[in-house]
Amino acid sequence: MDSTKSQAGGGADTAPPPHLLRLDKVGKHYGNVIALHDVTMDVEAGRVTCVLGDNGAGKSTLIKIIAGLHPHDEGTFTALGEERRFTSPRSALDLGIAAVYQDLAVVSLMPVWRNFFLGSELTTGSGPFRRLDVARMKEITKRELQEMGIDLRDVEQPVGQLSGGERQCVAIARAVYFGAKVLILDEPTAALGVKQSGVVLRYILQARDRGLGVVFITHNPHHAYPVGDRFLLLKRGRSIGYYKKSDVTLDQLTAQMAGGAELEELAQELEAMGSHSEVVAEVEAEVGATLRD
Binding residues vs Mg ion (CB under 5 A)? 59-60
* 41 counts as binding ligand ATP under rule CB under 6 A: no
Length of the chain, in residues: 293
Q: Indicate the burial class of 67 (C-beta count within 10 angstroms; 0-12, 13-18, 19 or more).
A: buried
Q: Which of 14, 15, 32, 55 is close enough to bind ligand ATP by CB under 6 A? A: 55
Which residue stretch of 2-10, 50-58, 153-161, 220-228 sits at the interface with ligand ATP (rule: CB under 6 A)? 50-58
Q: How many CB atoms lie within 10 A of CB 251?
A: 14
Closest listed residue to residue 256, CA positions, set 228, 225, 278: 225
> Can you say whether the dihedral through the CA atoms of 251, 254, 257, 259 is positive or negative?
negative
Closest listed residue to residue 168, CA positions, set 190, 136, 146, 142: 190
State how far the alpha carbon of 33 is from the alpha carbons of 29, 62, 219, 226, 229, in Å: 5, 14, 22, 34, 31
Q: Which is nearer to ligand ATP, 52 or 175 (CB)?
A: 52
Distance in Å, CB of 33 to ligand ATP, minimum: 5
Which residue stretch of 54-62, 123-131, 141-149, 265-273 sits at the interface with ligand ATP (rule: CB under 6 A)? 54-62
* 33 counts as binding ligand ATP under rule CB under 6 A: yes
SS3 of 76, please?
strand
Q: Which of 23, 26, 35, 171 is close enough to bind ligand ATP by CB under 6 A? A: 35
Q: Which of 4, 49, 60, 254 is close enough to bind ligand ATP by CB under 6 A? A: 60
* 59 counts as binding ligand ATP under rule CB under 6 A: yes
Q: Which of 11, 17, 46, 56 is close enough to bind ligand ATP by CB under 6 A? A: 56
d(CA 35, CA 277): 36
Q: What DSSP state is assigned to residue 246?
A: G
SS3 of 63, please?
helix
* 259 counts as binding ligand ATP under rule CB under 6 A: no
Residue 218 touches which of ligand ATP, Mg ion, none (Cβ within 5-8 Å per kind): none
Q: Which is nearer to Mg ion, 60 or 168 (CB)?
A: 60
* 256 counts as binding ligand ATP under rule CB under 6 A: no
* 58 counts as binding ligand ATP under rule CB under 6 A: yes
Q: How many CB atoms lie within 10 A of CB 58?
A: 24
Distance in Å, CB of 25 to ligand ATP, minimum: 17
Which residue stretch of 16-24, 52-60, 138-146, 282-290 sits at the interface with ligand ATP (rule: CB under 6 A)? 52-60
Q: Which is nearer to ligand ATP, 59 or 244 (CB)?
A: 59
- Cα separation of the two ends of the chain: 13
Residues that bind ligand ATP (CB under 6 A): 30, 33, 35, 53, 55-61, 237
